[in-house]
Amino acid sequence: MRHSEEVTRRILLALLEGEGYLTLSELSQTMEISKRSVQNYLNKADSWLREHQLSEIRIVKKQGYGTRLECDAANRQKLSALLNSQYFTLTDGSMKRRTELLRSLIFSREELTIQFLADSFYVSRFVILADLDWAENWLAQYHLRLFKIQGRGIGIAGEEVDRRAAIIGFFDLCEHREPAVEGKVNNPVRLAKERLEKMEEVYTEEDIKKICGIIEEAEKEFDFFMGSEYFTSLATHITICVFRLRHGHQIQKEFLPPNEEFPQQEMNTAAFIARRLEETFRVHLPDSERTYICIHLMGYNAFQAQMEEEQKAPENIELLALHLIEAVDAELGSRFSSDRVLFFGLINHLQNSLYQQKENPGARTQPHLALPESCQELFASVKKQSALYRQLSGIRPDQQELVSLTLHFALSQDRTTTKWRALLVSPAGVIIQQDQRKHLQDSIPQMEIIDTCSPYQFSVYPEASYDFIISMVPMKNAPKPVADVSRMTKLQRVQFIEEFLFDKMDGRECI
């Protein structure tokens, strides 16, 4: 289970087992994370409850008291079972369970009932219904749909060509979601290790080895050598093709363009592979199957031409960027993993910085690299990943590098966080107002202070331009929620506004 999932689960368990309200400070100390991170994880927990249609279980927040779960005994028992299930995960649903459910649907030769699936994964029917919605959305990208027949169950409807594409997509999904287990024997063939392991769960190793051998024969006969990615893709397609042909499933000719549109070299290679497959597996490959093999070969040749013109970022740099994002995301419970701009920004940065640090170690010294207070938590999280950085790059990140990485994450946080708009109402002069505004803005990045004004100006200020008010003086009958920080120190103001945003503003919509 990922760190972020474990923290979310522990917070829900703490609320479930608690007899009353738990404050942010209590949860922060128990989970050993900041109060701001607790707020992020509580939002994730709330989304998880909504996704699992647990509408009768509510996370209730009350200003001055804290947070508690509101539900009856039956729902408490149901929630406890879900939290302690081996399939527990966050709002994207249990990918392990959903992947297995998708496997059952794709490779089953008969319809499956909802109750059968619920019993298989030890979850309730409503969880399976949510999983089926996810499966249907996933299948839709391959123009497939689920059908439900009363008294029989659920199956997949669609064309043969789309079914095969979905099977390949399923193997891709397995590889991305379930990393290969270390310690297994070396590949007997040139297939990528993760793909081979997933395919062997469905097809026999002997058949896979024969198919890979036929492709290698074609490489020698026609003098070419396919890279691992394209070799894996073609071998996967042919394995699925042979399996489906054995069970009477063929692609209709009308789905494919006429053979005359394909280059002769690729068609000759495809014909050679088809002939060897027919001899080996005692199947007949119609023209449509030969054409699909030809399309794979054309894709490989197009890729080779493209690679000569493009320069790809080194794999270790992409890997380092991905691991840094995942680690900081898990630490802080934020949305960094979904920010593609952050990913490509880190890749571009790392290509330059790794070279500079390697060629001129110790030369990068810039004084006054101070970060604002709002970035200190991010900096601490980035600094914790120094060992990971060193492991994947072979270089110990210097102080300038850690600050640069932090700023990339800070920019991502600004992009991906919906901020509450605050209006600061203060009786002080304009110079002091600006100082108050800067201090609060730097300390609480999840809000944006759009303006400051005096109590006299406030009566004519347009209401639609702000979401709530930070007031340095007591206010009555205000049109929006008021965080009254009068008679407080600077530190108390920050703490109070953080609690106010969590208790009062959570659940409202930012305009």
**pLDDT recorded at residue 380:** 92
Predicted pLDDT of residue 192: 66
Complete DSSP assignment for 480-509: S-EEE-TT--HHHHHHHHHHHIIIIITTSP
pLDDT at 389: 92
Q: Which value, to the nearest 10 degrees, does the dihedral of the CA atoms of residues 350, 353, 358, 361 take?
A: -140
So what's the pLDDT on residue 225?
75
- 421 vs 468: CA distance, rounded Å: 7
Parallel/antiparallel/unpaired status of strands 420-425 and 145-149:
unpaired
> How many CB atoms lie under 10 A from the CB of residue 484?
17
- pTM for this model (two decimals): 0.40
Q: Can you tell me the distance from the alpha carbon of 372 to that of 350, in angstroms, rounded to the nearest whole number?
A: 23
Q: How far apart are CA 101 and CA 118, in angstroms?
A: 10
> pLDDT value at position 51?
65
Our CA angle for 412, 414, 419, nearest 5°, is 145
Write out the chain's pLDDT in tens, 511 residues.
466 778 888 888 899 888 788 988 888 888 888 888 888 888 888 877 776 667 788 898 887 788 998 888 888 887 887 777 655 555 444 667 888 888 888 888 788 888 888 888 777 776 788 788 888 888 988 889 898 777 778 889 888 888 888 888 888 777 655 444 343 434 556 676 667 777 777 788 888 889 999 998 998 888 777 777 778 888 888 998 888 888 788 776 555 666 556 788 888 999 999 999 999 999 898 888 888 888 888 877 665 555 444 446 677 888 899 999 989 988 887 778 878 889 888 988 898 888 777 776 665 555 556 787 778 889 999 999 999 999 888 888 888 889 999 999 988 887 777 778 999 999 999 999 999 999 998 888 778 999 999 998 998 899 889 999 999 999 988 999 999 999 899 889 998 998 888 776 665 544 4
Residue 181 confidence (pLDDT)? 39
Instruction: State the SS3 of 285-313.
Output: CCHHHHHHHHHHHHHHHHHHHHHHHCCCC
Q: What is the rounded CA–CA span in Å between residue 294 and residue 267?
A: 6
At 302 the pLDDT is 62
